[in-house]
Amino acid sequence: MKAAVLVFPGSNREGDVAQAIELVTGRRPAMVWHGDGDFEKTDLIVVPGGFSYGDYLRCGAMAAQSPVMAEVKRRAAQGVPVLGICNGFQIVTEAGLLPGVLMRNAHLKFVCADIHLKVETSQSLFTNRYQGGQVIRVPVAHAEGNYFADADTLKALEDRGQIAFRYCAPDGTVDGAQGKAANPNGSINNIAGIFNETKTVLGLMPHPENAVEPMFGGTDGIGLFEGMVEALS
Amino acid sequence: MKARVHVTLKNGVLDPQGKAIGHSLNRLGFPEVGDVRQGKYIELELAETDEAKAKARLEEMCRKLLANTVIENYSIEIVGEQAGQ
């Protein structure tokens, strides 16, 4: 699997995700600068975390209009898989590759913690190494992760099975008081990650790339990368 | 000409920043303050003399970049050359 990792001014997790990809593929991904309107063809495009363009105007808004994203949109339309993590999730929603928006966390604080996620489906090129309903532990680090979509969009996402991950308690409970306590940012329906309709674009706020080696404190994120390698090699 | 764009959150969209500002004002001795909504104000200098054309272009700017219409509304105001100087 050949991957490209985009780099914007203010990206800061591009190295982390590149390392995670290299760990499972043995191959360093191509690092692509935001000003590049064209880059080598790859099996996967990753939009990494950080604070692209200083989060000016709205997080992800400036990056979504950059030359490289125009090309990413073209390739996504042809079915090239795109993975947006954290700021990358914000960028792909601003670019219109995924519906909805990431708003300021409901409690207004930056949240940096290990959280639990319920994997909603194993039926995607991103999640095939997990079981549907499996609980994994990975970190989050963001101030704007509060997912919001209008009622019609939300219903469509739920009906079509486009929810990839939900924040949950360690035992997998999503609803009720416990579920609310396990929601780190106020996201509607506890949504932590979503797919597009064809499940070739995934956006998520948590950082699976920071849970790939025991020294990181957990390895639950490696399944995402191994699953992609299996699906795309 | 000069234009002013206001970007505000749509009704029903939670505005935690506005809420925090409201609470702070209440604490500071302004109990009359109820709901507070925070928005953005953007001033633009335009090389355009036709007001209708400018408005149409500003609409496009708002939809493409200045506002995220999933959660935000925008309003456009054209101000004369002299205003604000």
Q: What CATH number is given to the structural domain containing B50?
A: 3.30.1280.10
| A141 beta partners | A112
Domain assignment of residue A146, given as a range: 3-232
- What is the DSSP-derived secondary structure letter of residue B64? I
Residue among B40, B64, B71 whose CB faces A101 most closely: B71
Residue numbers of A annotated as active site: 86, 207, 209
Distance, CA of B66 to CA of B59 (rounded, Å): 9
Among A196, A24, A5, A19, smallest CA distance to A99 is for: A196
Complex ipTM value: 0.83
Q: Across residues B68-74, what is the average pLDDT?
A: 95
pLDDT at A2: 96
- Tell me whether residue B71 is in a domain: yes
- The list of chain A residues with pLDDT below 70 reads 176-181
pLDDT tens, residue by residue, B18-60: 999 999 999 999 999 999 999 999 999 999 999 999 999 999 9
Looking at the 3D structure of chain B, how many domains does it have? 1
pLDDT at B81: 62
- Tell me whether residue B84 is in a domain: no
In the predicted model, is pLDDT for residue B83 greater than 50?
no
pLDDT at A175: 74
CA B20-B21-B25 angle, to 5 degrees, is 115
- What confidence category does residue B85 fall into, taking pLDDT thresholds of 50, 70 and 90? very low
* H-state helical runs in chain B: 16-27, 51-61
Distance, CA of B66 to CA of A150 (rounded, Å): 20
- Within 8 A of B14 by CB-CB distance, chain A residues are 103, 106, 146, 148, 186
Residue among A65, A107, A148 whose CB faces B71 most closely: A148
pLDDT at B84: 46
Would strands A3-7 and A44-47 be described as parallel, antiparallel, or unpaired? parallel
Distance, CA of B70 to CA of B58 (rounded, Å): 18
We report the CATH number of the domain holding residue A203 as 3.40.50.880
Domain assignment of residue B6, given as a range: 2-79
Residue among A100, A108, A149 whose CB faces B16 most closely: A108
- Residues A47 and A6 sit within 8 Å (Cβ to Cβ): yes
Distance, CA of A50 to CA of A89 (rounded, Å): 11
Distance, CA of A22 to CA of A94 (rounded, Å): 28
- What confidence category does residue B16 fall into, taking pLDDT thresholds of 50, 70 and 90? confident
- Within 8 A of A104 by CB-CB distance, chain B residues are 16-17
Q: Which residues 92-121 of A have a C-beta within 8 angstroms of B?
A: 94, 99-101, 103-108
Query: How many Å lie between the alpha carbon of A100 and the closest alpha carbon of chain B?
Result: 7
Q: Hey, are the CB atoms on B70 and A94 less than 8 Å from each other? A: no
- Tell me whether residue B14 is in a domain: yes
- Tell me whether residue B85 is in a domain: no
pLDDT tens, residue by residue, A5-46: 999 999 999 999 999 999 999 999 999 999 988 999 999 999
pLDDT at A159: 98
Looking at the 3D structure of chain A, how many domains does it have? 1
Q: Across residues B55-77, what is the average pLDDT?
A: 96
pLDDT at B12: 85
